[in-house]
């Protein structure tokens, strides 16, 4: 089959831009520069894997509704999966953050990668927080009545009411996961576009 | 399936244990998590990464 | 290259080699490992689920605390009554320097503690002669008369007793207050108040603002939280009930609440929030902040991470 590109077309132009920005061998490379040789590099992928488990276990919890896990031991077990995957998610993310900091992985035009990472981190904290106040148990009663003071003091409490279970649950299961997923996608695409940051040049080698 | 199949083996529902050091108070569970995190970071940067010894320079 | 090379910002293009690295296999292994670890932790440790308390449990456990809290909603000394925005205009609320953020946004979740917590729930009870009379007496009284009743009752309330299921205060010139407080306590102990506070907006509800604020105005909820090591001055924000790990990532946020000026300031919350927002912006902008962005190069931890690379460079 012969294939001719139609010139002067929005679709063609957009496709060409995509392909130029992220050709398939850059999106899914089969090699890495030789300096990519440390366990610290696996923590980004581990965070991604943990995020997948968080979302999968959250979807299982959603199947039978928000009260299910209080009354069913199967539901409680699914809740345990959700809780522990969140702990692993944050664990891996923090190790990832430390690693990227000490590699100064924002160098060479990667500042936006770092910044999407930080925003994902903050979004994840908000997502976890809304999860804690959506538990509908003693913990959520205490956390919400305490946290209201901080959020109210900023003025945001008038719109983001942590005592409103329905609102918090919606943020927890729709808005914040969506934001976290989109941000993570952006973050990982940026990593692929830029490639992995090279080591610092050692002073001895820099001599021109 | 009986319900007890899904009960945790070692539930941590007992009253929490806390470490006090001057004004710092931290639950043993959180302390363990943070220590493990630091330990994991150190291990990740020092442990030899397998399968990457002498590689072919394919360039 | 005319521009000076900045080691914390720029990189020289990589001229070295590449070697095989299977990112999809890496990702698959990570997924399996994380999945198994989650499974093991869930099977072994489970997760906490401490039952929610109700106004019914509270008022049965400590009826006098409940009755005193109900009174504080009437005499406007409760936390909610004095809160300010977003619940009412009783106070300016917290300020960040000259910024009265909460006040400027205003009372967008208006709560009238007298009506919302006491009078309206009582009106929803089935008619009983003394209660109906009391409510009529209350609604036809002038506001001056009401506050006179409330303050006489408040003065006498130090000697409030709870005997045979009845809240009693010996005082005169208190209008219907003994009837109102006693009936509200009975209502709470029966569980009816829990219902009345969530159904004010109609049949369906997902909003627990009123009962949560009422619970938080009493001391029962806080005493349970204190027992579980969850209060703010116990670094409670990071903690979970039982022996479970909590939100350890909130360590810095909860840290500020332990030290001056934050732990002593009436504006502690907004100061800590302001500080944390500023610090988040700093974290966001690390790649652009001289000094902060040089720490990785100066600490030389990268020498460990890339040791194979530097070894092979040294050999050349
Ligand atoms: C949901 C959270 C996150 C996920 C799923 C994630 C995922 C990833 C992945 C898969 C990579 C490439 C592999 C690697 O080098 O580890 C990466 C790279 C990177 N991440 Fe993240 N990340 C997250 C959060 C963060 C955070 C919080 C930061 C820092 C504040 C950050 C900063 C970076 C940087 C700078 C790179 C580029 C690495 C390089 O070029 O060597 N990420 N991330």
Answer for the pair A35, A197: CB distance below 8 angstroms, yes or no: no
Residue of B nearest to A88 (CA): B33
Model confidence at A205, pLDDT cuts 50, 70, 90, reads: very low
A50 lines ligand 1 (CB under 6 A): no
Q: How far apart are CA B37 and CA C74, in angstroms?
A: 50
CA torsion sign for A159, A164, A166, A168 is positive
Within a domain: B6: no
Model confidence at C247, pLDDT cuts 50, 70, 90, reads: confident
Residue A32's SS3 state is strand
Within a domain: A1: no
Higher-scoring residue by pLDDT: A20, C200: A20
The answer on A180 and A112 residing in a single domain is yes
Q: Do B33 and A87 touch (CB under 8 A)?
A: yes
The answer on A145 and A65 residing in a single domain is no
A90 lines ligand 1 (CB under 6 A): no
The answer on A112 and A63 residing in a single domain is no
The answer on C140 and C154 residing in a single domain is yes
CB of C48 within 8 Å of a chain B CB? The answer is yes
CB of C244 within 8 Å of a chain B CB? The answer is yes
Q: Half-sphere exposure of residue C244, counting CA atoms within 13 Å on the CB side?
A: 24
Within a domain: A27: no
Q: Which residue has the tokens 């990472």?
A: A117
CB of B33 within 8 Å of a chain C CB? The answer is yes
Element of type H or E holding C162:
strand C161-163
* Chain C interface, best mutation among B7, B19, B21, B30, by max C CB count within 10 A: B30
pLDDT, averaged across chain C: 91
Q: How far apart are CA B5 and CA B21, in angstroms?
A: 40
Within a domain: A109: yes
CB of B17 within 8 Å of a chain C CB? The answer is yes
Q: How far apart are CA C275 and CA C277, in angstroms?
A: 5
Q: Look up the domain containing A145 and give its range.
A: 104-196
Q: How far is B20 from chain A (nearest CA, A)?
A: 22
Within a domain: B31: yes
Per-residue pLDDT tens for A51-83? 999 999 999 999 999 999 999 999 999 999 999
Per-residue pLDDT tens for A21-46? 999 999 999 999 999 999 999 999 99
Total tally of structural domains belonging to chain B: 1
A116 lines ligand 1 (CB under 6 A): no
CA A205 to chain CA centroid, Å, is 37
Q: Look up the domain containing B40 and give its range.
A: 17-47
Ligand 1 atom with the smallest distance to the CA of A48 is: 5
The answer on C186 and C104 residing in a single domain is yes
Within a domain: A12: no
Ligand 1 atom with the smallest distance to the CA of A47 is: 5
Answer for the pair A145, C212: CB distance below 8 angstroms, yes or no: yes
Element of type H or E holding B25:
strand B24-27
CB of C13 within 8 Å of a chain B CB? The answer is no
The answer on C233 and C217 residing in a single domain is no
Q: Which residue has the tokens 């925003």?
A: A119
Within a domain: A2: no
CA C223 to chain CA centroid, Å, is 15
Q: Do A104 and C305 touch (CB under 8 A)?
A: no
Within a domain: C169: yes
Q: Look up the domain containing C111 and give its range.
A: 55-224
Residue C19, beta-bridge partner list = A32
Count other C-beta atoms under 10 Å from residue C277's C-beta: 12
Q: What pLDDT sits at residue A164?
A: 96
Per-residue pLDDT tens for B3-46? 556 777 777 877 777 777 777 788 888 888 999 999 999 999 99
Within a domain: A131: yes
Total tally of structural domains belonging to chain C: 2
Within a domain: A187: yes
Residue after which a domain boundary falls, among C203, C224, C245: C224
- pLDDT surpassing 50 at residue C287: yes
The answer on A62 and A110 residing in a single domain is no
């Amino acid at each position: 089959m012969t294939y001719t590109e139609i010139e002067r077309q929005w679709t063609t132009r957009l496709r060409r831009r995509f392909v130029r920005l992220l050709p398939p061998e850059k999106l899914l490379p089969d090699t890495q520069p030789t300096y990519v040789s440390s366990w610290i590099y696996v923590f980004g992928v581990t965070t991604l894997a943990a995020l997948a488990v968080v979302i999968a276990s959250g979807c299982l919890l959603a199947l039978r509704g928000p009260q299910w896990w209080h009354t069913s031991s199967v539901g409680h077990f699914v809740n345990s999966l959700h809780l522990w995957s969140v702990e692993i998610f944050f664990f891996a993310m923090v190790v990832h953050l430390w690693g990227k900091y000490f590699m100064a992985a924002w160098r060479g035009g990667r500042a936006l990668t770092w910044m999407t990472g930080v925003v994902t981190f903050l979004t994840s904290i908000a997502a976890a927080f809304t999860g804690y106040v959506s538990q509908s148990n003693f913990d959520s009663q205490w956390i919400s009545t305490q946290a209201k003071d901080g959020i109210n003091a900023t003025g945001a409490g008038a719109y983001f009411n942590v005592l409103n279970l329905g609102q918090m649950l919606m943020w927890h299961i729709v808005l914040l996961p969506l934001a976290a997923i989109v941000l993570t996608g952006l973050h990982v695409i940026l990593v692929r576009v830029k490639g992995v940051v090279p080591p610092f040049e050692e002073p001895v080698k820099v001599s021109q | 399936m009986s319900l007890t199949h899904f009960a945790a083996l070692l539930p941590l529902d007992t009253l929490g244990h806390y470490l006090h050091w001057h004004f710092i108070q931290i639950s043993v569970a959180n302390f363990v998590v943070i220590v493990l995190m630091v330990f994991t970071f150190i291990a990740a940067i020092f442990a030899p990464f397998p399968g990457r010894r002498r590689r072919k320079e394919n360039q | 290259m005319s521009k000076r090379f900045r080691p914390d910002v720029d990189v020289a293009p990589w001229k070295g080699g590449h070697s095989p690295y299977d990112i999809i296999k890496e990702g698959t292994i990570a997924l399996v490992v994380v999945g198994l670890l989650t499974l093991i932790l869930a099977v072994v440790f489970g997760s906490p689920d401490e039952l929610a308390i109700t106004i019914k449990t509270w008022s049965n456990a400590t009826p006098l605390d409940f009755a005193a809290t109900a009174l504080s909603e009437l005499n406007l000394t409760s936390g909610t009554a004095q809160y300010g925005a977003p619940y009412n205009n009783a106070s300016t609320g917290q300020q960040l320097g000259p910024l009265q953020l909460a006040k400027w946004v205003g009372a967008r979740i208006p709560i009238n503690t007298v009506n919302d917590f006491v009078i309206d729930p009582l009106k929803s009870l089935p008619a009983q002669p003394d209660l109906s009379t009391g409510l009529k007496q209350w609604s036809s009284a002038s506001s001056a008369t009401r506050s006179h009743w409330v303050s006489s009752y408040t003065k006498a309330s130090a000697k409030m007793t709870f005997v045979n299921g009845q809240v009693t205060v010996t005082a005169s010139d208190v209008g219907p207050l003994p009837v109102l407080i006693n009936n509200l306590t009975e209502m709470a102990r029966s569980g009816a108040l829990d219902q009345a506070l969530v159904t004010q907006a109609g049949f369906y509800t997902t909003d627990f603002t009123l009962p949560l604020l009422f619970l938080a105005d009493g001391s029962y909820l806080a005493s349970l939280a204190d027992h579980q090591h969850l209060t703010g001055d116990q670094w409670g924000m990071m903690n979970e009930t039982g022996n479970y790990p909590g939100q350890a990532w909130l360590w810095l946020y909860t840290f500020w609440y332990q030290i001056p000026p934050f732990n002593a300031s009436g504006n502690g919350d907004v100061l800590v929030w302001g500080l944390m927002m500023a610090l988040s912006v700093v974290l966001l902008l690390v790649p652009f902040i001289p000094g902060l962005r040089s720490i990785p190069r100066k600490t030389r931890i990268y020498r460990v991470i890339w040791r194979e690379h530097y070894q092979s460079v040294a050999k050349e």
